[in-house]
Structure 1
């Protein structure tokens, strides 16, 4: 096969995250507005070109007040930094369907290398549209402090209100561009 362009099907894709809250539980959330440019050969994903853009204002933690705080200058400052981006720079095959995808992650005006573990879920033909589809699952972890997202509050019992490690889970389904 050769490289093809793949269009993300956002109705069958998602970007979710979780972070420790008060040192005892996890708060989960999602970004609902995102796009990706994927140019890949499913037979050799190490040569893929991958660019992600996420609309920071699309954050949803199922709490409007918290979402507003996350969009504010205390955290993402969505007005000044409306997007997060990731551009793959190196893809290494780890085993049959698993890859280490390293790229430049930009959040809050800071760009750093990050690596995600990506599982290639396979290729299928959509019975409704006839389109060729591919799927990926990705997981990784970033430190919010690495991107200048340092707002916090000390707890009376010790520790802090918001953890530094953000766990990210991504599910992508994409259709081969006609």
Structure 2
């Protein structure tokens, strides 16, 4: 197995969730680490992948909302500072992967599957080969203990249950 380095300056972890049933709130986590151990980066079927997200770095471009998300109503970052993912199986079809693993938010661990696409490789200006991947999954936030909500006078709720999570990474040999 070889270790691969994830270039976090060219990678991102983002999410989106319905707001007031009519629009979407989008956000990112500004600090995270991703570890990829694989015999070949162009064939992830032999890989083990782990992700550790610093929840306190959540960024929705609204400080009040970010502080509410960090509170006990949602992520409770004082008690649960990280979101973690650990791969358990990876299958491949062409340039597409299904990466299944255990996602832990707060004290709840559930299996999730990311649909991942291999975007190819290139050589950066310093002569290092880099490889790109992007993937996404959808979770029900309530299954992870993120149950806060409020009813709207016009019907519906303030925050949707389904959260789309997207990951884009650039990796190179460590």
Which range, TM-score by smaller chain?
A: over 0.9
Other-structure match for 1:155: 152
Give the C-alpha shift of residue 90 in structure 1. 0.6
Partner of 1:64: 63
Unaligned runs of 5+ in 1: none
Q: Post-superposition shift, 1:59?
A: 0.2
Q: 2:164 matched to which residue of 1?
A: 167
Paired residues, what number?
A: 173
Displacement of 1:42 in angstroms is 2.6
Number of the residue aligned with 1:120 = 118
State the Cα deviation string for residues 21-78 of structure 1 (Å, max 9, x = none).
0111101100010001101213421111100000000000000000000000000000
| Deviation for aligned residue 1:82 | 0.2
Tell me the TM-score normalized by structure 1. 0.94
SS in 2 for 1:138: strand
Distance apart, 1:174 and its partner CA: 1.3
Q: C-alpha separation between the residues in 2 aligned to 1:38 and 1:7?
A: 7
Alignment equivalent of 1:109, drawn from 88, 107, 110 = 107
> Secondary structure at the residue paired with 1:65?
helix
Distance of 2:29 and 2:143 partners within structure 1: 20
Unmatched runs of 5 consecutive residues or more in structure 2:
none
- Return the TM-score normalized by structure 2: 0.96
Instruction: Tell me by how many angstroms 1:105 deviates.
Output: 0.2
CA distance in structure 1 between the aligned counterparts of 2:6 and 2:41, rounded to whole angstroms: 15
Provide the alpha-carbon RMSD of the alignment.
1.0
Name the CA shift for 1:67/1:9 in 2 (closer, same or farther; >3 Å): same
